[in-house]
Amino acid sequence: MARPGVVILEMDMVMVEIANELEKSVRECLEDKVGIAFSGGLDSATLAKIAKEEAEVELICVGVEGSEDLEVAERVAEELGMRLHKKILEKEELLEYYRKAKETVNADFLKVEIMAPVYAACESAKGLGLEVVLFGSGAEELFVGYERYYTYWNEGKNLEEILRDEFETLGKRDIGMINKIAGKAGVEARFPFYSNNVANEVFSVPVPVRMEERELKKGLLREAAHFLGVPEEAVKRKKKALQYGSGVHKVLLKEVGGEF
């Protein structure tokens, strides 16, 4: 049986390798000037911290007035010393983005309500003269970020297989939709977490280890982010889905909620 100290050292080495692969993947996604869809949360703050060392970066946060994402993003961006562009959505503007997103991806309400602020972020990036926008898609599947994964595990399902399948098919699902919307807005979306090299490092870690931080989730990514110097508010922020953090869910549910 390995001594506890040896196990910890081995996991530290794995965490450092994951951080290194993330850095490489972000660099491969960069141009001289890029945008990052930014909420002030773990995923986007990690991308921002890495990217700021290599490129001119514009952080873009979308939300309704007073939303949590706008407030947190402002604090985290300030701590990072980075520019933040806030796109505050009024009701009619949000409804228009919802309509355009629905026409583009032809999905149900639960998907389109997420894509509406994505559309707004992409158009904001285009307005800033940017051609490339980075998104944090893929982090949930890699680092066991959804509560349903814990349910699958408790039900005895093969979670490793589920995670790999959901990661590998992102291009046909969430990432595919973001790509369509980005194209309509005139920018290119890139996804540093959606990397085979990053995935190989993460999937080398046993599923139970990746599941250890159930309350906040994505414990391994939080450790890597801390190692990289990501602000603690972002490292410790609990996951809040885009439609809730941005505040668009409440508005859209009231206005178009019957359109499921």
Instruction: Give the pLDDT mean for 78-101.
Output: 98
Q: How far is Cα 130 from Cα 12, in angstroms, rounded to an integer?
A: 37
Cβ-proximal residues to 130 (8 Å cutoff; 6+ apart), any chain? 33, 34, 35, 58, 187
Task: Please choose, from the candidates 239, 245, 250, 256, the residue with its C-alpha nearest in 3D space to the C-alpha of residue 63.
Answer: 245
pLDDT of residue 12: 84
Residue 219 pLDDT more than 70?
Answer: yes
pLDDT per position as a tens digit, 227-236: 999 999 999 9
Topology (CATH level 3) of domain 4-254: Rossmann fold (3.40.50)
Give the total residue count for the chain. 260
Residue 257 pLDDT more than 80?
Answer: no
Q: How far is Cα 87 from Cα 117, in angstroms, rounded to an integer?
A: 9
Instruction: Give the pLDDT mean for 69-92.
Output: 98
pLDDT per position as a tens digit, 20-50: 999 999 999 999 999 999 999 999 999 999 9
pLDDT-based confidence at 1, cuts 50/70/90? very low
Mean pLDDT of all residues belonging to the chain: 94
pLDDT of residue 53: 95
pLDDT per position as a tens digit, 169-209: 999 999 999 999 999 999 999 999 999 999 999 999 999 99
Strand partners, 86: 61
pLDDT of residue 258: 53
Q: Is residue 260 packed enough to be buried (19+ CB in 10 Å), middle (13-18) or exposed (0-12)? A: exposed
pLDDT per position as a tens digit, 107-164: 999 999 999 999 999 999 999 999 999 999 999 999 999 999 999 999 999 999 999 9
pLDDT per position as a tens digit, 149-168: 999 999 999 999 999 999 99
Alpha helices by DSSP H, listed for 55-206, are 68-80, 91-105, 109-127, 139-143, 147-154, 159-168, 174-185, 196-203
Query: pTM score > 0.75 for this model?
Result: yes
pLDDT-based confidence at 3, cuts 50/70/90? very low
> Where exactly are the structural domains of the chain?
4-254
Higher pLDDT, 256 or 82: 82
